[in-house]
Structure 1
């Protein structure tokens, strides 16, 4: 009986030590209209991080040249509106970190660790549409293994659930007006389901 108890205990310890869980999940997603953003999640300290991609300063395209008589009030207003919309569409976030609750962290851990093996592969359609929609993610496991996945022009439900939840938490904790606008731009980030 004593030997059986020792063997059972050995198997329990061995099975627990071999369980690998995602420790870090990082995703970058983009579309043609708004560019892209990166969200990182570190389960060991329950931090969700919104990262800027590209330059901090937005390069607004120059307005059309004025006519010989200069810009009319209508043209100036039109240029101002176009500039303002461009700013809203291509706004770059400031890097921010959000401390998640234990329950929120558990939800993300569950979603990340439940991505099926068949969904952890690159997806490139044979005839892609040129719409700029793509995303990638990396999962770094507790045993040091890394899975790096890139997906173009399609949405995979298990990925969408994780990214949607990360966006939801980022919107919940964000208080910077520019970052709020960036997160609003990506509310419907996923590929349209026609």
Structure 2
């Protein structure tokens, strides 16, 4: 992957036809984040190699194709472009232009009930999405805590929360992730509980 793209959006997964085509890519409503402040464009890649680009007052039908090396060719208003496709996760798609240091970022709005019309809408969508993701990760993860120079654990956040509620431990005890080696991040039980 080009270094500039990895610097801009780390941890992208390259398009994999078996994993992504049916479940994440085809017939989904992808809102283009680039230039959303000027106009909203929604891209829908159809099975029959039709690409529908919907704007406020009209829809353009054009074409797309994919080759054996997962290089996509897309007919746009500006002509034919070739891109590589990457996923940040189920709802974030990146089309990386093959001839320029330029990429397009899309958000899957198929299962999202609110309209994404502005930059503020995008920020709110991403904030809520990743807040929920962090909450889910924290909820399932385990942590050690330290109290009076002794280490205890590992415990889930729910278990730690119950200990705090029963006043068995302080909410201000330092915690460390099971994969961390020390408490240098200065995270407290209180910080974990407020993320749930």
- Which of the five TM-score ranges fits, normalised by the shorter chain? under 0.3
Normalising to structure 1: TM-score of the pair? 0.26
Whichever structure has more helix as a proportion of its residues is 1
Q: Which has the higher strand share?
A: 2
Q: Which TM-score applies when normalising by structure 2?
A: 0.26
Structure with higher RCO (Cα < 8 A, 6+ apart)? 1
